[in-house]
Structure 1
Amino acid sequence: MDRAMKAAILLMDNCFGTGINGILDALIAANYSLIKSGAMPLFEWELVSLDGNRVTPTNGLRIEADCDLASFIARPEQPDIWIIPGIYQSASNFEKVQTAMRQSEVMVPVLQRHVVDNKMIVCMCTGAFLLAQADLLGKNPALMHWRNEHHFRRAFPHLTIDSQNTIAEYGNLLCSIGGSMAYEYLVLRLVERFAGHQTAINTAKLLMMDLNAPPAAPYRAHQYQPEHQDALVQQAQLYLQRNSSQDISMVEVAQELNISDRQLKRRFAAALDCSPLQYLQRLRVNQACSLLEATQLPSNKIVLEVGYQDESSFRRLFKKQMAMTMESYRQQFGIQHQQHMAVG
């Protein structure tokens, strides 16, 4: 490009502070890579809070704002990019989510005008709630940290969630899940789009990280289960958890609870958004993940431990759910060395 790309980064209290700093670090690294290659720096940015005051992220390390929102949007020249980090950081309290959504409502017309002007929005994690408020997702699925998905479904039951990808591009809308590294990966995608592939590679190497984001699935092992009030499904869950390594028939589970197989499936779908069999499969894959993380037990033994007799069948299931093989999962999350006792 022949001019700088101007970005506005939204700041809100209780946001993910490490993510904000990660965005800035990645933008600075991109500009440095361009300068070292003989080009001009590409990105300029301002930090914008709703009232112009500094904000306090969840880590307590306050971040100073450059401008308040009202003054910023009153300027004749508006940014090329709005960057929307997570607008809140609470995985357990829906009331806090609602409060954050009310506070961020003032951004809805700002982002809607930005889209009308054919400009770009970069959104991370719970920033997806703001996109949904502004009705900017359309039929596209939202991305966020898996710990926030149950809140999103409650707030926007008509919208869908992409639980598999780390980053998604919908035209001028660039979205990512949460977590520390997702912010840098998203900026790398932004760099690649506007500064080219080589600059993105150089920036990634400067930050000592991969250019392409890993799949989201492996990080969802042992994921949070949404709360529900269906006592019968809770009983079924407990039964499956206690007997997950056994040969279980869902008809037998239904009989144990004195309901039909059909009723059991319907109530699981309503409470957990999955079938009883899918829930059991998740339990077994999660148990395999735990064994891969904490033991040196061979993969074929792990398959038997979690209740499968057909190794190839379980390997297919594991790869489908985790987006990697059992061996790759162990390499990424397992014990890499044995500790030795000091001699003395």
Structure 2
Amino acid sequence: MHKISVALLVTPESTSGTLFGMYDLFKSVQRDWHLLQHGVPGEGVYEPRLVGRETGFATICNGIRVEVEAKINAEQPLDIICLPDLFIAPDEPVAGRFEQELAWLQACYEKGTLLAAACSGTLLLAEAGLLNNMDATSHWGYCDVMRERYPSVRVHPKRSLVVSGREHRLVMAGGGTSWQDLALYLIARTLGLRQAQEVAKIYLIDWHSAGQQPYALLARTRQSDDPIIGECQSWVAEHYDTHCPVAAMMQMSGLSERSFKRRFQKATGMTPIQYVHTLRLEEAKQLLESTDTSIEAIAGEVGYEDMSFFSRLFRREVGLTPGQYRRRFGALRRTLQSITPDGVPLNR
């Protein structure tokens, strides 16, 4: 029986959760379902291997030592290559850092291999030039940098899974546990939907149908080097709920309206009102998660008098209604609180 070959790339920046999580899911296909149904393991279908520049033991993220089974080799036929996420800062340069790996990816792609990247692993596909003029996604915290660094790539930060490239052989997952979506998709595509559903049932995997938008930190803002705009940022961080905060910042800056808006946009990447909305909505998310305050009261508390406008804005930016968001993330908090020992605080 021909087994489907899966190479999982190991680099010093690889995280073990994604690396071994995907390894385990591929190894489990048909084997574990048969074990549960008949008491004996079934025959596995996939042959995952850890590959890297050199064989032997390598140290990856968090000081974990793993054994690399095979060298990256463009001459060896492969069905699938999986790129786990990389533990690097979003704006950390990758140029010149993965030259061997990039050449390998380019060569394998030309030969028909399906390339799949989880989270920040998408950076390797982009750096290899494979995503030029293609749709892509990555962890929401890396999408802005990807747009800036690779302007020809069409980045979709709200989506948890994107399929692109020739013969749809470039597959990318967003952040966090969306690598599970990636693995399920690869199983369904290369073997069948039934087998993917069996794996999902065994591991209790829920598909991220809402994408990664509800999980994203809206206020991905940094303090500006522009001293005037930086002062406005500091002020609005404490006073975003006030009436007309943009007008107040403009007055504080001493700039004309046109100059203020231009400098604010250049410094933060957002218009002043967009910046205010991100701060307000991030606080609303926290209140929905951690309190039982009514949604209408939360809208007023963060600065919105019009409840319907708040709801529409929240849905557009977060991907869920305020009520849906509370049910999803408030339930998690309540569950954690219920199992936390008495006297041990659960930080907000």
TM-score, shorter chain, exceeding 0.5: yes
Matches within 5 A, 1:157-306: 157=151, 159-170=153-164, 171-179=168-176, 181-221=177-217, 223-226=219-222, 228-248=224-244, 250-306=246-302
Q: CA deviation at 1:265?
A: 2.7
Q: CA deviation at 1:44?
A: 1.3
Query: 1:157/1:227 Cα in 2 relative to 1: closer, same or farther (>3 Å)?
Result: farther
Q: Map Cα deviations across residues 143-180 of structure 1 (whole Å, 9 max, x no partner).
A: 2223334543554355453210111111111001231x
Equivalence for 1:314: 310
Q: Map Cα deviations across residues 234-267 of structure 1 (whole Å, 9 max, x no partner).
A: 2222232222111215344323212232223322
Query: 1:18/1:309 Cα in 2 relative to 1: closer, same or farther (>3 Å)?
Result: same
Letter in 2 for 1:283: L
Identity of aligned residues (%): 25
Matches within 5 A, 1:131-146: 131-146=125-140
> Alpha carbon RMSD of aligned pairs, Å?
2.6
- What TM-score do you get using the length of structure 1 for normalisation? 0.86
Q: Does 1:17 find its partner at 2:16? A: yes
After superposing the two structures, state which structure 1 stretch, 36-45 or 231-240, moved more.
36-45
Kept after mapping to 2: 8 A contact 1:35/1:41: no
CA distance in 1, matches of 2:144, 2:224: 11
Query: 1:25/1:56 Cα in 2 relative to 1: closer, same or farther (>3 Å)?
Result: same
Kept after mapping to 2: 8 A contact 1:201/1:211: no
CA distance in 1, matches of 2:241, 2:142: 30
Equivalence for 1:84: 83
CA distance in 1, matches of 2:6, 2:189: 14
Equivalence for 2:346: none
Equivalence for 2:334: 336
Kept after mapping to 2: 8 A contact 1:318/1:324: yes
Equivalence for 2:67: 64
Letter in 2 for 1:64: E
Q: CA deviation at 1:3?
A: 3.8
CA distance in 1, matches of 2:129, 2:205: 34
Q: Does 1:52 find its partner at 2:49? A: no
Q: CA deviation at 1:54?
A: 2.6
Kept after mapping to 2: 8 A contact 1:250/1:261: no
- What TM-score do you get using the length of structure 2 for normalisation? 0.85
Equivalence for 2:108: 114
After superposing the two structures, state which structure 1 stretch, 321-330 or 28-37, moved more.
28-37
The number of residue pairs the alignment matches comes to 331
Q: CA deviation at 1:113?
A: 2.2
Q: Secondary structure at the match of 1:126?
A: helix
Query: 1:212/1:309 Cα in 2 relative to 1: closer, same or farther (>3 Å)?
Result: closer
CA distance in 2, matches of 1:238, 1:212: 35
Query: 1:79/1:266 Cα in 2 relative to 1: closer, same or farther (>3 Å)?
Result: same
After superposing the two structures, state which structure 1 stretch, 56-65 or 333-342, moved more.
333-342
After superposing the two structures, state which structure 1 stretch, 306-315 or 113-122, moved more.
113-122
CA distance in 1, matches of 2:33, 2:4: 13
Q: Secondary structure at the match of 2:44?
A: coil
After superposing the two structures, state which structure 1 stretch, 249-258 or 152-161, moved more.
152-161
After superposing the two structures, state which structure 1 stretch, 34-43 or 302-311, moved more.
34-43
Q: Secondary structure at the match of 1:305?
A: helix
Kept after mapping to 2: 8 A contact 1:101/1:129: no
Equivalence for 1:73: 74
Query: 1:212/1:111 Cα in 2 relative to 1: closer, same or farther (>3 Å)?
Result: same
Kept after mapping to 2: 8 A contact 1:34/1:40: no
CA distance in 1, matches of 2:29, 2:268: 42
Letter in 2 for 1:318: F
Kept after mapping to 1: 8 A contact 2:119/2:138: yes
Kept after mapping to 1: 8 A contact 2:136/2:163: no
Q: Map Cα deviations across residues 81-100 of structure 1 (whole Å, 9 max, x no partner).
A: 111112x31327x5xx33x5
Q: Secondary structure at the match of 2:67?
A: coil
Q: Map Cα deviations across residues 101-126 of structure 1 (whole Å, 9 max, x no partner).
A: 42311122222222222321001122
Q: Secondary structure at the match of 2:141?
A: helix
